[in-house]
Amino acid sequence: MDKIERIMNSLDKLPTLPTIYTKLSRLLHAPDSTARMISDAIAEDQVVAAKVLKLANSSFYGFAKRIGTLQHAVVILGMNEIKTLVLATSVVKTFHDYKSGHTFDVQEFWEHSLACATASRVLAEAGRLSSPEEVFAGGLLHDIGKLIYALFFSEDFACVMEEVENNEMPIITAEKKIMGLSHADVGRALAVKWNLPEGIVKMISGHHVSEKNTDCTKEIAAVNLGNTLCIALGMVSWGERKVPCIHDSVWRSLGIKISDLEFIIMRINSLCKENSSILEN
């Protein structure tokens, strides 16, 4: 069985998302769902419920008054935001008990992922994208393929780590050479298995934009640039410790101005500092 087949087969054995996410997705599409029904559904998973409330009260939203109940959170934030928060907390919960065998730092991974989610969202708002909350989810999950590799293919991934660290090979090149698939490909496969929205699947699979891409969607551009800005601010990702260049297609697609960058970067920096441990238990 070749490596690619092995990886794809192993995805079937991976945990599914907590049932709360599927249940919530169904409820959100049902025409007669109420805020009460939605908050009751979330409350069935105490871990997810607690985190959703914590996120709702964070400086991501900056509400003047404290949001005390899930029902209140549903009403104030709206369906799309709630769905994103439940997705984010569900994914973190799914992987919580796994331990990485090698030098891959899982805490650094989630810090970078949350930072990228934040940065992508700030950029989506600056670029006036229609669903900044979906871009937040895309940013959070963009590197999930790396986590899969580190947790379930640690031996082979150790060889990738060697190529990247000792021979300065770009991570995508090393992954394709040694594993057959990049972390973006694996992330995409996982997102499809989990039935995530199409937009999120695309952001995960397309977040490494190359020079050959003459155009890319605004959402992919937001995640790509968000990732770059996080690395620039020192919130690095394993295997990507140098600031990558920003391709023309990304900059043109997002449509922000150079003069917007200062405010955007300052905002990303303060949101990340204020919320760095928000996903921890």
Partner 1 sequence: MSLLEVNALQAGMLLAQDIRNNHGTVILKRGTTIAERHIKGLKAWGISEVDIVTSEITPEGRGEEDSMAGEVIPVIEEKLKKRFHRFEGDAVMEEIYRVVRKLVLHEATATHKGDE
Q: Residue 8 to residues 92, 186, 204, 239, 242: CA-CA distances in angstroms?
A: 21, 8, 16, 22, 30
Nearer to partner 1, 207 or 247 (CB): 247
Alpha-carbon gap, residue 110 to 115, rounded angstroms: 8
| Minimum distance from residue 253 beta carbon to partner 1 (Å) | 13
Decide: residue 258, CB within 10 A, 0-12 exposed, 13-18 middle, 19+ buried.
exposed
Nearer to partner 1, 32 or 262 (CB): 262
From 28, 106, 172, 243, residue interacting with partner 1 (rule: CB under 8 A): 243
Nearer to partner 1, 24 or 272 (CB): 272
Does 241 interact with partner 1 (rule: CB under 8 A)?
yes
Does 63 interact with partner 1 (rule: CB under 8 A)?
no
Q: Over the Cα atoms of the chain, what is R_g?
A: 18
Tokens describing residue 12: 């079937």
Nearer to partner 1, 10 or 59 (CB): 59
Q: Residue 270 to residues 28, 51, 119, 139, 167: CA-CA distances in angstroms?
A: 32, 20, 11, 17, 35
Contact region for partner 1 (CB under 8 A) — 81-89, 109-117, 188-196, 223-231?
Answer: 223-231
Nearer to partner 1, 113 or 269 (CB): 269
Does 246 interact with partner 1 (rule: CB under 8 A)?
yes
| Minimum distance from residue 134 beta carbon to partner 1 (Å) | 24
Contact region for partner 1 (CB under 8 A) — 170-178, 196-204, 210-218, 254-262?
Answer: 254-262
Nearest by Cα to 80 from 199, 194, 175: 199
Tokens describing residue 235: 């919130």
From 170, 232, 276, 278, residue interacting with partner 1 (rule: CB under 8 A): 232
From 148, 269, 271, 279, residue interacting with partner 1 (rule: CB under 8 A): 269
Alpha-carbon gap, residue 251 to 171, rounded angstroms: 22
Contact region for partner 1 (CB under 8 A) — 42-50, 138-146, 211-219, 244-252?
Answer: 244-252
Does 259 interact with partner 1 (rule: CB under 8 A)?
yes
Does 61 interact with partner 1 (rule: CB under 8 A)?
no
Give the three-state DSSP class for 237.
strand
**Residue 240 bridge partners (DSSP):** 237
Alpha-carbon gap, residue 138 to 18, rounded angstroms: 18
Residues that bind partner 1 (CB under 8 A): 228-229, 231-234, 241-246, 251, 257-263, 265-267, 269
